[in-house]
Amino acid sequence: MKVRSIILAGGEGTRLGVLTAKRTKPAVPFGGKYRIIDFPLSNCVNSNIFDIMIVAQYRPHSLIEHIGAGGPWDLNRDFTGGVRIFSPYRSHAASWFVGTADAVQQNFTFIKRGNPDLVLILSGDHVYTMDYSAMIAFHIRSGAEVTMGVIPVPFEEAPRFGIVGIDEKNRVTSFVEKPAEPPSNLANMGIYLFNLNTLNEALWEDHINQDSSHDFGKDIMPRLIDRGVNIYAFPYQGYWVDVGTVNSYWQAHMDLLANPPALDLYNRSWVIHTRTEERPPAKVLRGAEVEDSLISDGCVIEPGAKVIRSVLAPGVYISAGSVVSESILLTDAVTGRYSRIERAILDKRVCVGEHAQIGETRTGELSIPMIGKNAVLPPKIVIEPGAMIGVDVAASDFSSNIIRAGMYIQTRRLPNEVY
């Protein structure tokens, strides 16, 4: 049975704020050393699927650089599968992708090349570990034309998802996208396994429908159910999270720090592969304190510094006297001496001035302050929970030493003045 996997990686990810100002959502760093797309990619190769297409659109440069020829995933193959990245192109019949189904339809000529028996369609922005071979076996055994991955979610979160109705044999009987009053809590995971001919017919019908938004969840699946197509739900019981919001992104990192963790990155039978650069070992100096944290290669934690329930990406430098609590610091971020960072997210190469205060740990509604890539914060700055600092912001861009909740500071420099 020949299976080709399509990973949809064109998401703009506007709800992730400054994290997606310069990169597509699947390329956002996660868990210290990974990118979000590493999870579906690694799931594929761990499931012995080595024929993979990635469909990209929004700001794909860092994604393309990260994937490269696919070497870290054993996908640098010329004739027996491998990984290929496709992006929109302009022609008399093609333009920017306007939905997930449109992204697949525009590339269908390439998808059906070699006549795969099954096409596995995945989202590139979910964090989970899943053996797709079990889903493929279920699909074949049930005689399905389409199989979709489903997972129970808390009822209060159900309005964020497509909600699936099934019968006693797991055949799909109903599907409603993001209902205000969900009929159940069985959520669509955005994982679809199609017979090639079924996918071909569904995409063509959607393509000629002038009223369609060309989305698998909103249009394709409800239409197939109405037509009586044989669709089954494959139940999944493991850890799965759509890290499409700031709070879910932060919470997923906190889940990694639980004991035992909700998602086990240390499972040697299911390795999450990624592309990494060589860094020296992490260094924790005498007098520093580290508690329930993930510390990546190249990090330095100076005497008197404290890191509590936090995730530090490669090269993060925590200066003497600093306190970092329940925070995520991405590659090469630097904290100034005696700064305090609580429940915050700092992107790559952020430089925090001495005695700065970012966020605070408090009960009640979660409101994460975010600092954009390459931002430089002046000494003694106070950034309240819920504030946001844009990419490339310089110390000279601040007119006040207190940034209140809801404020968004952007650089006043021209593009040619930013390095």
Please, are residues 322 and 307 in contact by the beta-carbon 8 Å criterion? no
**What pTM does this model have?**
0.92
CA distance to 80, 153, 279, 352, 391, per residue, from 349 (Å)? 39, 36, 16, 10, 10
Omega of the bond prior to 281 within 30 degrees of 0, cis? no
CATH architecture of the domain with residue range 283-417? 3 Solenoid (2.160)
pLDDT tens, residue by residue, 158-215: 998 999 999 999 999 999 988 888 999 999 999 999 999 999 888 888 766 767 777 8
Query: Which CATH superfamily hosts domain 3-256?
Result: Spore Coat Polysaccharide Biosynthesis Protein SpsA; Chain A (3.90.550.10)
Q: How many CA atoms lie within 13 A of 288 on its CB side?
A: 23
C-alpha 136 chain-centroid distance? 24
User: What are the structure tokens assigned to 298, written together?
Assistant: 């190249």
Cα angle vertex 276, ends 270, 279, to 5°? 120
Residue with tokens 């205060």: 357
pLDDT tens, residue by residue, 361-404: 776 678 999 999 999 999 999 999 999 999 999 999 999 999 99
Per this entry, what is the length of the chain?
A: 419
DSSP letters of 160-220? GSEEEEE-TT-BEEEEEES-SS-S-SEEEEEEEEEEHHHHHHHHHHHHT-TT----IIIII
Intervals of the chain under pLDDT 50: 92
Domain boundaries, the chain: 3-256, 283-417
CA distance to 4, 109, 308, per residue, from 290 (Å)? 44, 52, 6
Please, are residues 32 and 61 in contact by the beta-carbon 8 Å criterion? no
Q: What is the pLDDT of residue 94?
A: 52
What is the pairing mode between strands 118-123 and 186-195? antiparallel
Cα angle vertex 78, ends 99, 137, to 5°? 60
Q: How many CA atoms lie within 13 A of 278 on its CB side?
A: 0
